[in-house]
Amino acid sequence: MLMPNDDFGHLSYDMAGEGSPVVLVHAGVADHHMWDAVVPALAERHTVIRYDLRGFGESAPPRGPFRETDDLLRLLDHLGHDRVRLVGASWGARVALDFTLTHPDRVHSLVMLAAPWPRYHWSADMIAYDEAETAALEEGDLDAAVQINLDMWLRGPARGWDDVADGLADRLCGAVRTSLVNQDIVGQHSQGPATGDLAAVRVPTLVAVGKLDVADFQDIARRYATEIPGATLVEFPAAAHLIALDTPTELIAALGPFLAR
């Protein structure tokens, strides 16, 4: 489904199930399909809303300055949902947190899976990844840039491709390609993350990270769990960065009781 076109371009979204609304916000190397394996179980008790961030999946690239939180607000208003449960992965988790800080009255609870930290002092491994991606794109080698991202975010630093479930790379490849094609225009127009105080988060919060993820994100997850009042930290031993793809069954087991609160 498409939200009506406006000055910013259309947003694509999908809905399933009935019950209290849950919004799923995808990672920055994915689109709404990253949640395919968890939606059926969540839809047994919830209205599950997932959408493509601007410039990802089937949503239009930005035409000018925009905020991801404003897009989410417009979507919720369009659908008539006053208060929702938010679940975000990676960059989508930061969008969910920013929305909670900006519109606290619209959020019932918050789940952050492998969220980044603004202006974090990244490790040498993360810097090397960024430099490799940049070099591939400057050389016009989009295929190489896609593979660099699959290696970092799907396979992760702690395992080989033989340990990644068959078919996941093929499923993610198109979404990664779209994100890279639109990366510059999204970065040019996105107004960036909010700067609110984490101590101001007053909703139940679940922070999660994969134990096979980059060490930076494991450190960041502990920071969020410490600084957000009452937050709970959950670690997934068999997951790298994209928990919903690696261990959907375990993720559902963690989300079910939390979202039912």
pTM (2 decimals)?
Answer: 0.96
Does some domain include residue 139? no
Whether the Cβ atoms of residue 207 and residue 215 lie closer than 8 Å to each other? no
Q: Which of 23-27, 137-141, 196-200 has the lowest mean pLDDT?
A: 196-200
User: Which domain range does residue 89 map to?
Assistant: 2-121+185-259
Does some domain include residue 234? yes
Does some domain include residue 237? yes
Query: Span 16-34, mean pLDDT?
Result: 98
pLDDT digits (tens, 9 = 90+) for 156-180: 999 999 999 999 999 999 999 999 9
Alpha carbon distance 211, 209 (integer Å) = 6
Encode 18-30: b = buried (16+ Cβ within 10 Å), e = exposed: eebbbbbbbbbbb
Does some domain include residue 158? no
Structure token pair of residue 250? 């375990």
Does some domain include residue 56? yes
Whether the Cβ atoms of residue 87 and residue 25 lie closer than 8 Å to each other? yes
Residue 252, domain CATH = 3.40.50.1820
Does some domain include residue 60? yes
The total domain count for the chain is 1
Q: Find the Cα–Cα–Cα–Cα dihedral 244, 76, 99, 206, rounded to 10°.
A: -40
Does some domain include residue 157? no
- In this prediction, residue 248 has a pLDDT band, given cuts at 50, 70 and 90, of very high
Does some domain include residue 147? no
pLDDT of 196 reads 80
